[in-house]
Every structure is written in structure tokens, then in C-alpha cells.
Chains A and B, each alone.
Chain A
């Protein structure tokens, strides 16, 4: 659960970072789009039934790490994005254990 809560907080941080660190342009647009997506998917993945959504932390994290290379990010936004991106990729691998049993799970119905 804690890796999901931390990921959600990082998503919320990205939503407020452009105002607090005073940057705009591509960096702020990127952060204000992926921030809510990271927060929402991390919150949904708190529950065991939807825990596999934690893996979305990897593409979101990779986006944050590599987007500054394609668009011109101010240096504080660049550092912030790379640090948050690396943290999200690491968090995606943590806390995957599931205690409850769900019959055949989602695999049974798709």
C-alpha cells in the first residue's frame, strides 16, 4: 500500500511543482498532464484487485526521465522530473504482494 500512496503523492507533487518551482512552458504542461494520471492510477492500485495498475508507474516514470531530453525543460524542472521518474519506476516494483484470493482473477473473464 505505501508504495502506491507515495506514488500518488509524487503525482500530486507534479501538479503543484510548476507553481512552487516557478516554471511554465512544456515542462509545466507535461507535469500537469501526467501528474493527475500518476496520482489516479496509483490510488486505484492501492486495492489488491487492481494492484497490477502499479506497473503503469514504469511508463510514467520513463516519460518523466526522457521528456526533458526532447523538450526544452528549465534545469529545476529537469532535475525534478528525473528524480520523480526514477522514484516511480522503483516504486512500481515494490509492494506487489496480494493476500486475498479472487478465484481465477481477471484472467478468468477476459
Chain B
């Protein structure tokens, strides 16, 4: 085991076995982190509007669409405004996306899996809200659509790292030595 770690450190390879690249490299993760931070900023702004801290919401295309969507009955189904939940989701994505180094698919597999699982529902809920907006509220909300696009863009690039961690856990549980 110790020799295996030492040999890995010498070769400097964090690429999973059978892979052509390291899904945990910063080149792979930084774009997702930027998306998560932008999403967090947008969702926080919308939550502040829903809480009444910010008086007006930026809406360049759809008239009073943002106001109707952000003050709709659906947005108040839960005790906290829905944008606040979105902001929390983006924060989980950003934190679980930044922890660990280039080999984290094997050193911190559960952090990677939290990251991968957090990205999925955020995107799914965003798309569901995009469907509901015109059907029930009869309005669109530019920043909500932007946030939905960001959350969907994060899913694909997060899945490769999660697959590498799942493969690693599977190998470890079946007792295959990592070389």
C-alpha cells in the first residue's frame, strides 16, 4: 500500500485506471466552480428580492414576469423562499467542488459523490420551475432562466468525477488493489 502511494506520488499520476484524463484536475473543476459561484450570486439576489430586502428585481425582457414568478404561490410553498434554497444548493456545489486536490476522486470519494448528487437535483428542480413558470404563473423570469441554465450546465462536467469515485469505491469494496 505504502509502496503503491509512493509510486503514484513519483509518477505524479492522478488519472484513474483506464481513463484518458484526471476528472479531479483543476482544469476540469474550475469551470464548474465559477458556474456555482455565479449561480449562488444570482440566487442570493433573487432570494433578497423575495424577502423584501431588495425592492426591485432586474428584468430586461418579460415586463413584470420576474415579479409574478418570484411572488407566485409556488415560490412560497416552503417556509423559505425558493431562491434561498437554490442559493444553498449552489453553495453546497461550490464547497463540495473546491475541497480536495487533483486525486480527490480516490482520496475523498464521498465529497465527490456529495458534489455529484447535489448538482443533479438542483438542475432538475430548476428545469421543473422553468416548465411551471409559463403554465401556472403565465410569466418568465430572466434571472430564473439564467440560473436554470447554469444549474443544467454544471451536471455534465460533474458526472465524470462522480463516476471515477463510484468506480474507485466499487474496486475497493471488491478488494482490487490500487496500483
Contacts and interface: CB of A to CB of B under 8 A. Distances in A.
Interface in B128-162: 130-131, 134-135, 148-149, 152-153, 155-157, 159-160
B127 interface: yes
A49 B127 contact: no
Contacts, number: 68
Interface in B111-128: 123, 127
Chief secondary structure at chain A's binding surface: helix
B159 A49 contact: yes
A22 to B, nearest CB: 15
B170 interface: yes
Contacts of B16: 103
Chief secondary structure at chain B's binding surface: helix
Contact of B131 (A36, A106, A109): A36
Given A33-B131, A37-B127, A104 B167 contact: yes
A84 interface: no
B58 interface: no
Interface size class of A (residues with CB under 8 A): 20 to 34
B166 to A, nearest CB: 4
Contacts of B127: 36-37, 40
Interface of B: 16-21, 123, 127, 130-131, 134-135, 148-149, 152-153, 155-157, 159-160, 163-164, 166-167, 170
